[in-house]
Structure 1
Amino acid sequence: MTTHEELLPATRRALLHRVATAQAEGRAPSLVASVARDGEMVWSAGRSMVDGHAPDEHVQYRVGSLTKTFTAVLVMRLRDEGLLDLADPLEKHLPGTGAGEATIGELLSHTGGLAAETPGEWWERTPGASRPELADVLGDEPFKHPAGRRFHYSNPGYTLLGSLVEALRGAPWEEVLRREVLEPLGLSRTSAQPKAPHAGGWAVHPWADVMMPEPTEDLGLMAPAGQLWSTAADLARFACFLMKGDERVLGAESVREMRTPSAPSQAESWDRTYGLGMDLLRWEGLSLAGHTGSLPGFLAGLWVSEREGVAAVALANCTSGPLVAGLAADLVKIVTEAEPRIPEPWRPLTEVDEKVLELTGPWYWGTQVLALRLQADGAVSIGPLSGAGRSARFRANGDGTWTGLDGYYAGELLRAVRRPDGTVSHLDLGSFVFTRQPYDEGAPVPGGVDPQGWRAF
């Protein structure tokens, strides 16, 4: 059983120091952060003032493009219910947009080729009512690149996804989100409109310690791309969901799919790519998934390390200044380095399928030796005994076959081919034949085996 332990005093001080430094050096009117570990928030802190008091984990901030991850969850729910396929062109479900050739998966991963922004005025600082139709969001030339060719972040793309949700659910995006995600996950302080106590948005002068309030606009049709307000506590809970899933909303396999790269690496960094509504980042030895957000007056960052079971959130109420994305990543790093995850105790299996057990051990692909290992959860893994090479985990399908979960073999089918007497001839993985001996002459090795066999020279 996993126990939720308090962070050590030294860790808590290191976290507070990092947050306080970010707020002071970034000149944020206020900044709040939280850390979750193993499914539970274990730390939070706020600096400076909101309405005369230091902000806590229940004060709302606008989270900008973190909203996109919530919208992506709604689309993945539609997929899991069989109402759409990620390979479907948008036109199939939402006709007449002028951008219908892009697939739903491409819109989720920002590879649909759509423009980054809407035509006309800066949409984040103008009332959403000024864009009453999708045509006002997309313009006459919505595409900047051929669909499916490259990563190009698109706010209008998520407006289309929000409209898709509304079309298939027959209800407003905000209502669907509240009913299907916010209420089941207990995110009672996450909403499309601000609820007290909430921070006000500010612009801080770049060359003087003075401020000016930013307008807080309702984004209208652009809401699915950046409308939400939330708190450090709610987002910590949402981050835990993004690591493990919740069958009431979206299962573990689907949130893992969201965390899987679906787009080429972003041009500015080979260490950053994008999944399905989630930013993916390698940060000083950590693999992180999450999202950042900004609107005039607000900055937000959320990252999770599924391997370490740690998530962090950072929120500030200024247009620019503190690098909250890096701050949230640093908070994850501080915890994982100061308090490495304690492995679960090894325990033997309570039951095992003998037909699966006999498959464990060494197998050969040509002359390369690999090992098949049985996992505690019924999955199996295949990988080289040493050195680099293809490796993957496989989920049991319940019929004696397994489906690849990651790596080169993701989505590929693994099966044991048996002889008429029930003994195992070989493993079939895609078109690859794995044998118990290198180039086993008793197995159907592609190209056959030289009849003279192995020889010395």
Structure 2
Amino acid sequence: MTSPQEELLPTTRRALLHRIAAAQSEGRAPSLAAAVVRGGRTVWHGARTSVAGPAPDEEVQYRIGSITKTFTAVLVLRLREEGLVDLGDPLEKHLPGTGAGEATLVELLAHTGGLAAESPAPWWERTPGSLRPELADVLGERPLLHPAGRRHHYSNPGYTLLGALVEKVRGASWEEVLRREVLDPLGLSRTGVRPRAPHADGWAVHPWADVLLAEPVEDLGRMAPAGQLWSTTGDLARFAVFLMGGDDQVLSAESVREMRVPAAPAAAADVADGSAYGLGLQIQQRDGRLLVGHSGSLPGFLANLTLAVDDDVAAVVLANCTSGPPLGAVGADLVRIVAEAEPRIPGPWRPLPEADPFELELTGQWYWGTHAFVLRLTADRGVSLGPLAGGGRRSGFRANGDGTWTGLEGYYAGEPLRAVRRPDGTVSHLDLGSFVFTRQPYEEGASVPGGVDPRGWRGWRGIG
């Protein structure tokens, strides 16, 4: 075990075991392995098996299918952090001649590039990648089914293009770049493009009889960046830690946060369950909890990675069957069990090491028109601004080091906040993306656009 299971209460461990046992039994999976992460490390591992083969511990490999896309997204964002690409760049700028070059990198990452969901026949998941040696073989004669940027349409060929982009910019194979830039730095020694013993065998389970059929294992070739990888619960648990906090060796915490933000609207069929897609990550609201991660499937295998960042809990679930247990629901339940049975203990409150008198002067109540807001100075040397009571627009703001701040969330994301001072140095108002916040509602003498009626506030007798 990566860490002793005693870190979870016995009742929690039993509830986790019961959940995966029910999933393996009811889903008729030959084997199912799972892990739970909390506090930056694995705190529980469990497995159930019914067939001959290696005991599914944390080192046994399963194929993880489309979770591979999250790894590919990390490689693209690394290029962006190094200034080699911009996510708004059209693909044509870096990889000309594909026929899908009008799609931008961010659209490909979020599956809004308009590309087809699959490559042309034969079925790429069950045939050798040697049948599709060139990008043209992956994209076909009609790569775009929808206008780029107009709708979310999940696309495996889109991630093939992103893998080809990585190869073009780096001058090395996708596999080599992935190993050098992500797998090795994160210590994911049991993750790779080909299975290495011990690994599970992939099976199809007959829908109406308790019998098995061995599934083929194909090298996906050009389609590898969309679904080739094999991994373990141990390695994916470490990858989950990275996706929650970043790692300066691989990708900054800020870029990892960006991956977890919706970049594509929910498809019409997904609106009911509140799902969306970020940059290489699926996003879902479930039972009032925001979950991010990715699912995966290839013939003989199912996989799921689920993170609840606010609860500091993540779950990995792997099975060696083509269909069966709903691993997305299982992963969400494992997270919920831990988050509800042993909720995250808040860190201790700590005061600021020092207080800037100019920043301290800005704290307290402000008004946007007649709406009351409060500005607070936070321990990370930023500020937060939100309604004094009830719902409404709110955000944290990152200090820019020059007396201004930049919004981090929601309506105010990316918007500039600054304090406007009078000639004598006193604060006149706050300017938030041209919105004026004053100390009193429509404060007399403040620079309120449109001006303030000089007759002031009146009761009903003064109207007319």
Length-normalised TM-score, structure 1: 0.98
User: Cα gap change, 1:373/1:5 in structure 2, threshold over 3 Å: closer, same or farther?
Assistant: farther
Partners of 1:50 and 1:198 within 8 A in 2: no
Q: Does 1:204 align with 2:205?
A: yes
Partner of 2:79: 78
- Equivalent position SS for 2:254: helix
Identify if the C-alpha distance between structure 1 residues 158 and 53 changes in structure 2 by more than 3 Å, giving closer, same or farther. Answer: closer
Distance in 2 of aligned mates of 1:51 and 1:27: 15
Which residue, 279, 288, 300 being the options, matches 1:276? 279
1:407 pairs with one of 388, 407, 410: 410
Give the Cα separation in 2 of the matches to 1:431 and 1:411.
13
The alpha-carbon distance between structure 1 residues 52 and 92, as it changes in their structure 2 partners (threshold 3 A), is closer
Structure 1 portions without partners, runs of 5+: none
Q: Does residue 353 of structure 1 match 2:356? A: yes
**3-state SS in 2 of match to 1:440:** coil
Shift of 1:53: 4.2
Judge conservation of contact 1:236–1:312 (CA < 8 Å) in 2: yes
Unmatched segments (≥5 aa) in structure 2: none
Q: Where does residue 166 of structure 1 map in the other structure?
A: 167
Alignment of structure 1 residues 294-309 onto 2, 5 Å: 294-309=297-312
Retained in 2: the 8 A contact 1:46–1:57? no
1-side partners of 2:253 and 2:46: how far apart? 30
Shift of 1:57: 1.2
Per-residue CA distance 1:160-202 (angstroms, 9 max, x = gap): 0000000000000010001000011111110011011000110
| Matches of 1:352 and 1:58, distance apart in 2 | 49
Partner residue of 1:326? Answer: 329
CA deviation after TM superposition for structure 1 residue 451, in Å: 1.3
Letter in 1 for 2:371: Q
SS across alignment from 1:307 = helix
Residues in 2 aligned to 1:267 and 1:456: alpha-carbon distance in whole angstroms: 50
Counterparts of 2:99 and 2:342, CA distance in 1? 52
Which has the larger displacement, 294-303 or 398-407?
398-407
User: 1:172-211 counterparts in 2 under 5 A?
Assistant: 172-211=173-212
Determine the C-alpha separation between the residues in 1 that align with 2:42 and 2:128.
36
2:380 counterpart of 1:377: yes
Show CA shifts across 1:138-180 (max 9, x none). Answer: 0111111110001000000000000000000000001000100
Distance, in Å, in 1 between the alignment partners of 2:179 and 2:400 is 34
Match of 1:453, SS state, is coil
Measured against aligned partners, the alpha-carbon deviations of 1:253-292 in whole angstroms (never above 9, x if no partner) come to 1000000010011322221000000000111111011000
Equivalent position amino acid for 1:436 in 2: R
Q: Which of 441, 444, 450 is the equivalent residue of 1:447?
A: 450
Secondary structure of 1:41's aligned partner: strand
Work out whether residues 425 and 435 of structure 1, in 8 Å CA contact, stay in contact via their aligned partners in 2: yes
Partner of 1:91: 92
1:251–1:5 distance in 2 versus 1, CA, 3 Å = farther
- Mapped partners of 1:442, 1:194: distance in 2: 72
Query: Which residue in the other structure is 2:340 paired with?
Result: 337
Q: Is the Cα–Cα contact under 8 Å of residues 91 and 97 in structure 1 kept in the other structure?
A: yes
The question of whether the paired residues in 2 share the 8 Å contact of 1:50 and 1:199 is answered with no
CA offset digits 1:284-334 (Å, max 9, x no partner): 111011000000000000011110100000000000001111111110000
8 Å CA contact 2:54–2:60 kept in 1: the answer is no
In structure 2, what is the equivalent of residue 417 of structure 1? 420
Matched residue type, 1:91: E
Q: What does residue 112 of structure 2 align with? A: 111
Mapped pair 1:266 → 2:257: no
Distance 2:296 2:397 in 1: 35
Aligned partners of 2:205 and 2:322 also within 8 Å: yes
Aligned AA (2:444): E
Percent identity reads 72
Moved over 4 A (4+): none
Shift of 1:440: 1.3
Aligned residues: 455
What secondary structure is seen at the aligned counterpart in 2 of 1:417?
Answer: strand
Cα displacement (A) at 1:374 = 1.2
Partner Cα separation in structure 1 for residue 357 and residue 28 of structure 2: 63
Equivalent position SS for 1:107: helix
Which residue does the alignment assign to 1:11?
12
**Is contact 1:382-1:391 (8 Å) kept?**
yes
Deviations for 1:207-230, whole angstroms, at most 9, x for unmatched residues?
A: 000001100000000000000000
1:117-156 deviation per Cα after TM superposition (whole angstroms, max 9, x unaligned): 0011110000001001000000111111110001000000
3-state SS, counterpart of residue 363 of structure 1: strand
Q: Is the 8 A contact 2:53 2:200 kept in 1?
A: no
Question: In 1, distance between residues paired with 2:267 and 2:245?
Answer: 26
Shift of 1:49: 5.0
**CA–CA distance in 2 between the matches of 1:198 and 1:405?**
43
Separation in structure 2 between the aligned mates of residue 241 and residue 50 of structure 1, nearest angstrom: 33
SS in 1 for 2:270: coil
